[in-house]
Amino acid sequence: MLLAPQWLWLFVVLIYMYFKRPRRSRYAGYMYVAISMVIVALARPVYDAHSVEMPVHGSDVIIALDLSYSMQADDIKPNRLEAAKRLLKALVTHDVSDRFGVLAFTSHAIILSPLTRESELLLHLVNRIDERMVITKGTALLPALQLARKMSHAKRPKVLLFTDGGDADSYADAATFAQTHHLQVNIVMLATPLGATLHQEDGTLLKDRSQQIVVTAENRAVAAISRATGGAYLVQPDATALRALLRAQYREDFQGESPLMRYGELFYLCIAGALFFFMLAHTALGSIFAGKILPKEVCANMKKKSAPAMQR
């Protein structure tokens, strides 16, 4: 069995080189064999593949992503939504122990991914999130927290709330719900105090009902939720800060077993063979080996062919 068969395409190049040079010496023959063994080693041959159950444990982390219209503001480059996606991808790529669930919310909330440890699935999901999914201009945090609580059976799951805070003056109802339902909510603030304007599809600036230009900025009222639940309020953090936060808040919310495939590697045998034939090509061992293994008439024929190559 080969774990990386894509490397076998190099044999096409090797075969081309072999037929490109009609004069072949003993040196060239040994080198072709050595290179062939290196290619096979790159393909990682293995034996005795079997599954082993490995114990796993970690925390439940619910990622709540604000998809309201204001997340398209560009006070954080390239915009708030893209900044959130970069953070999410860096987080799920490096954290392989916790389970992550993802939900998106505007005035309503929807599950994008249940709790999982499959980072490839989460990366694919995050990459598919874009501004076309934004269909409303409102931000309601209570539905997002209610859905987050349903996604985990842990006693106190963690929530990473990626938002700009919306435009509400108070989030007392969301804070009360999170506190009474044992959620630990961490606010990841993705907006600046100065804020930014919003552009509509036709390129014009978004205006309110009184025709005033809308400026969306950091809404610190949302910090009431993190204070009420013992969470953190992070302003434009990097992935390192988020990972440190999750480590500091670690709780064993789940445990179980996960299948892990184990193999016996054979690539080192190919490397040893390649080194052996490389030595035959570049030392006197090549002549000795040919004299011991090959018939005399074959050796004589190889010497005749190798003579012009040596003269060149």
CATH of the domain at 247: 3.40.50.410
45 with 192, same domain?
no
44 with 116, same domain?
no
pLDDT bucket at 266, cuts 50 / 70 / 90: confident
Please provide the average confidence, as pLDDT, over all residues in the chain.
Answer: 84
74 with 98, same domain?
yes
* pLDDT tens by residue, 92-120: 888 767 899 999 998 889 999 999 988 88
* pLDDT tens by residue, 191-227: 999 999 998 888 899 888 889 998 999 999 999 999 9
CA distances from 82 to 54, 74, 144 (A): 36, 10, 20
42 with 145, same domain?
no
Tokens coding 168: 């509400």
114 assigned to some structural domain = yes
Tokens coding 259: 């299948």
50 with 129, same domain?
no
51 with 104, same domain?
no
216 with 108, same domain?
yes
Gap between the Cα atoms of 286 and 284, Å rounded: 5
Torsion of CA 164, 169, 172, 174, to 10 degrees: -40
3-state SS track over 101-147? EEEEECCCEEEEEEEECCHHHHHHHHHHCCHHHCCCCCCCHHHHHHH
Of 32-41, 54-63, 259-268, minimum mean pLDDT range: 259-268
301 assigned to some structural domain = no
Gap between the Cα atoms of 302 and 121, Å rounded: 56
Average pLDDT over residues 176-205: 93
- Split into its structural domains, the chain has a count of 2
Q: What pTM value is reported for the model?
A: 0.67
Identify the domain containing residue 208 by its residue range: 60-255
Eight-state DSSP code of residue 206: P
43 with 92, same domain?
no
108 with 165, same domain?
yes
73 with 127, same domain?
yes
50 with 132, same domain?
no
148 with 66, same domain?
yes
168 assigned to some structural domain = yes
93 assigned to some structural domain = yes
147 assigned to some structural domain = yes
